[in-house]
Amino acid sequence: MNNPDRLEGSTVILGVCGSIAAYKACELARRLLGRGAQVRVIMTKSATQLITPRAFSSLTSYHVAVDPFEDPVPERIEHISLADMADLILIAPATANTMAKLATGICDDMLTTTVCASDAPVVIAPAMNPRMWGHSPTQENAQRLAAMGYHLVEPGEGEMACGHTGRGRLAPLEEILAYAERALAEKPLMGCRVLVSTGPTRESIDPLRYLTNRSSGKMGFAIAYEAWLAGAEVTCVTGAVTVDPPAGPEIVRVETAAEMAAAVLDRAPESDAYIGAAAVADFRARNVASGKLKKAGREDLTLELVRTDDILAQVCRAPRRPRLVIGFAAETENIETGAAEKLASKGCDIVVANRVGPGGVMGQDDTEILVLQAGSAPEAVRGSKRHAARHLVGLLAQRLRKG
């Protein structure tokens, strides 16, 4: 099945600097290899003081480059050869020292010389003591590198190996990989703002119990991630999901349909596109019991339910409607008819229908969607949710480009 992963088949030069976080680069190399990338490692001399080149050569099955004057094959100049083959240069961890060198064009070792000789995108994930990160030259160098087009993965906050607490920890590997993938992706949505809603909502019955559904959030997260890879600024309003959100998009967590409506309607006017992939509850309890509903003395219990807000219809009717609105229709039967009715009645531009219920796609990694838009024949897309998301983001880019 189609693999939308941009890392697959790419050649990544992994630069490892003299940070105590260098050991994490071994796992990073493994993760890159696991996603189908070819990995060549360059270490700085300082990095070899903290971890041996053999660790990386064993993982990647390639010679690790450290010294530009030590060519493994005399017929070629190693740093030029590495620079030429790179689809991406990923420096993780990056030290304050190497960042300073790159920011000023110094090329006095294998890594900085290769970066200088390459036109591949460069992702830099710094790791250092919080004071080193906060040091004004380091901050200026980081800003300078970002302005020069380097993709910076901000370090995280927490306790450091040196015992200090603050910002400076190497970003989580998942985040570094997301930025690496984004650096390789085409950016048809650059400059666009995309709003996605995903996951189930929860409607309280009493302080302990709630009504919900089986949505996992995977489809909306896949769309949010693909839109982010395509260069958009993405906000994902997220219900009570069972999976981790992707790195990249801004995540806004909500619980109820009313909270989701407020969060979406607040952001929709500033968005170029809205994709409503959330499984929003259609009904909520008219009255939420203030104490636990007891079973003692009761044989049955009747809950009175009232309609929740129709978020999709409200977004479509809003005076500052996003240029493109995509709604999802979860159907258990007559998928195409249900979706066509939704397209006609809600005022959205595209409806994506899928089958839910027993044997359906909720919670699964794969999906089968039917895309309906006025003036076009329904289009079926089958595969992983990432694959379907990439297809929808392509459609989104096409429609937004047309204006």
Ligand X SMILES: Cc1cc2nc3c(=O)[nH]c(=O)nc-3n(C[C@H](O)[C@H](O)[C@H](O)COP(=O)(O)O)c2cc1C
Q: Which residues are catalytic?
A: 162
Which of 198, 194, 218 minimizes the C-alpha distance to 267? Answer: 194
Phi, psi of 17 (to 5 degrees): -105, 175
In the chain, count H helices and then E strands: 14, 19
Residue 16 or 350: which CB sits closer to ligand X?
16
**In this structure, are strands 122-126 and 151-152 parallel, antiparallel, or unpaired?**
parallel
Q: Least CB distance from residue 100 to ligand X, whole Å? A: 8
Rounded to whole angstroms, how far apart are CA atoms 113 and 70? 14
Q: Which lies closer to ligand X via its Cβ, residue 106 or residue 258? A: 106
Q: Which stretch binds ligand X (CB under 6 A): 11-19, 84-92, 139-147, 355-363?
A: 11-19
For 8, phi then psi, to 5°, come to -60, 130
Name residue 383's beta-bridge partners: 367
Site string for ligand X, 116-135 (x = CB under 6 A): -----------xx---x---
141 lies in the binding site for ligand X (CB under 6 A): no
Tell me which residues in 15-44 interact with ligand X (CB under 6 A): 17-21, 44
Q: Is 97 in the site for ligand X (CB under 6 A)?
A: yes
Which residue, 47 or 232, is less far from ligand X as judged by CB? 47
Residue 169: other Cβ atoms inside 10 A: 22
Q: How many CB atoms lie within 10 A of CB 108?
A: 9
For ligand X, the closer CB: 98 or 354 = 98
Tell me the site size for ligand X, rule CB under 6 A.
Answer: 15
Contact flag: residue 96 with ligand X (CB under 6 A)? yes
User: According to CB under 6 A, which one of 10, 60, 81, 95 is a site residue for ligand X?
Assistant: 95
We find the least distance from the C-beta atom of residue 91 to ligand X, in angstroms, to be 10
Calpha distance 17→14 (Å, rounded): 10
Distance CA 14, CA 28 (A): 9
Catalog residues that contact ligand X under the rule CB under 6 A. 17-21, 44, 46-47, 95-98, 127-128, 132
